[in-house]
Amino acid sequence: MAEHREQLPPLLHDTGERTIPTQQGEVSVVFARHTLTYEYALRFVEGRTVLDAGCGTGYGSALLASRARRVCAIDLSNEAIEYCRRQYAAPNLEFLQMDVTQLPFRHAFDVAVSFQVIEHLPDPDAFLRTLKHAVHPGGSIVLATPNVRVPRSGDASNPFHCSEMSYAGLHALLSRHFASFQISGIAHARQNALRAFVYRSPLYALGKRLRRGSVVKKLANKTLDMTSFRIITERVAEEALDLIAVCTNDGSRAA
């Protein structure tokens, strides 16, 4: 199992797009969602060789390495890869600086995971073809991306995203590449009317700017139950915050 070296100071800052693991007393809605995604993926990696394409700060790669036979984790940012190498160490975990759109691997892995990456890429079809080349025929490709039900523009848009998708959009994309796939989602564990109101108000944007250890943020989390999530398989299009797709690399589709 990968060792988390908590004594080392972080070299990176949490930006919302690049997520740093929370420390005791801190609150991060994004980190909670992303961690659940990796925990869900554990069921697919037991004893297998795994590619983590777009590993970010590596906490998820380390979690996968606790079950997988070998994990190769890659990211475009050399700064992020250096952080990962300093923070995590395991004999079955390797971090490489590499472009996820130009992978050199050919049927080298049993499973590829790529979480919160595809929305950053201008050509999702090319990315899926690259992942399919990297994974053995019959292997699995597990993807996660935000469920953007209504296209965002202006101040609501994310300048780092260029391929945001709804459930229907992701389904259409995957249909071009895979004969067999399933889409689940991540949703809040419990309904909360006040939280739903806050999401629609300017308060949510203001709250995102607060420090993770802020007293206000901790009180808001306690009241609104912001960091408790669950995997859903019904009403995914309507209720999921993030979409999770599990695809079989059967080679029967070629977009």
Q: What CATH number does the domain containing 162 carry?
A: 3.40.50.150
Q: Give the per-residue pLDDT at 5.
A: 47
What is the extent of the structural domain holding 33?
26-189+228-248
Looking at 56-134, list the stretches that DSSP marks H as alpha helix, in order from N- to C-terminal side: 59-65, 78-87, 124-134
Residue 254 lies in a domain: no
Residue 195 lies in a domain: no
Per-residue pLDDT tens listing for the chain (255 residues): 455 444 444 456 665 556 777 776 675 778 899 999 999 999 999 999 999 999 999 999 999 999 999 999 999 999 999 999 999 989 999 999 999 999 999 999 999 999 999 998 999 999 999 999 999 999 999 999 999 977 665 545 555 667 689 999 999 999 999 999 999 999 998 887 777 776 776 766 655 666 666 766 667 666 677 788 999 999 999 999 999 999 999 866 665
Count helices and strands in the chain by DSSP H and E runs: 9, 10
Q: Give the per-residue pLDDT at 93.
A: 98
Residue 4 lies in a domain: no
Q: Give the per-residue pLDDT at 142.
A: 98
Residue 144 lies in a domain: yes
Residue 142 lies in a domain: yes
Q: Give the per-residue pLDDT at 136.
A: 96
Residue 92 lies in a domain: yes
Residue with tokens 């049993």: 110
Residue 201 lies in a domain: no
Number of structural domains in the chain? 1
Residue 2 lies in a domain: no
| CA–CA–CA angle 124, 128, 134 (5° rounding) | 145
